[in-house]
Amino acid sequence: MLAGLSRQYRGTAVIDYSQGLENGGMHMVHLSSVYRKLEEGSKRLTPQRELVIRIFSEHPGEHLSAEEVHQLVKKKFQDIGLATVYRSLELLTQLEILTRINFDDGRSRYEFNQEETHRHHHLVCVRCGRVEEYGEDLLDTLETRILNERGFAVLDHELKFYGVCRACALKKTN
């Protein structure tokens, strides 16, 4: 099975998963489902891929870009190629372990594809640029209507709200 795969690769760092990735906090990721998805895609869980996953697990709710992931991996663990980061992100997205999001800041960003927290939306502050998450989903009825009215079968949706966050609203000046 895959669990045994991730010992080492290219003679580099060995990652201790005795405690799993679940240590992160509230935004838990089920390593087992990561293993399963890799297995189903018959992909190896290499140290580089593990590191990428680990970065996300240690930065819950952060919408990281490829460059940011690369920097974090380098800083916290070891040097890996930026191209490898891109390829890992691509792979993990295809396996639905990550989700690609676009905040129109010129680069793609990624977050865990948390099926439990499924369909959360984003509140993008136009002043400070910070992105909050919003868990509500009231769009099901709308999706049914779209199917009936237009014959368009909705598979997924993406909703972003642009506005002013509480913190910025409180800053009276400027």
Residues within the interface to DNA (CB under 7 A): 5, 7-11, 43-44, 46-49, 65-67, 79-84, 86-88, 90, 106-108
Radius of gyration of the chain (CA): 18
User: Is residue 60 exposed (0-12), middle (13-18) or buried (19+ Cβ within 10 Å)?
Assistant: middle
Query: Please, which of residues 129-148 interact with a copy of itself by CB under 8 A?
Result: 132, 134, 136, 138, 141-143, 145-146
Q: What angle, 0 to 180 degrees and rounded to 10, lies between the N-to-C axes of helices 47-58 and 66-76?
A: 100
Report the nearest approach of a copy of itself to the CB of residue 126 (Å).
7
Token pair in block for residue 119? 């369909």
Report the nearest approach of DNA to the CB of residue 160 (Å).
17
CB 109, CB 63: distance < 8 Å: yes
Choice from 40, 79, 104, 116 touching a copy of itself (CB under 8 A)? 104
Residue found under tokens 């690369």: 70
State the CB neighbour count (10 A cutoff) for residue 86: 15
Pick from a copy of itself, DNA, none: which does 144 bind, CB < 5 to 8 A by kind? none
Site for a copy of itself contains 16 (CB under 8 A): no
Nearer to a copy of itself, 16 or 136 (CB): 136
From CA 83, how far away is CA 166, in angstroms rounded?
38
x/- site string to a copy of itself, residues 72 to 101, per CB under 8 A? Answer: ----------------------------x-
Nearer to DNA, 58 or 90 (CB): 90
* CA distance readout (Å), 7 to 46, 50, 122, 168, 170: 9, 11, 37, 47, 50
Residues of this chain that interact with a copy of itself (CB under 8 A) are 100, 102, 104, 108, 123, 125-126, 132, 134, 136, 138, 141-143, 145-146, 150-166, 169
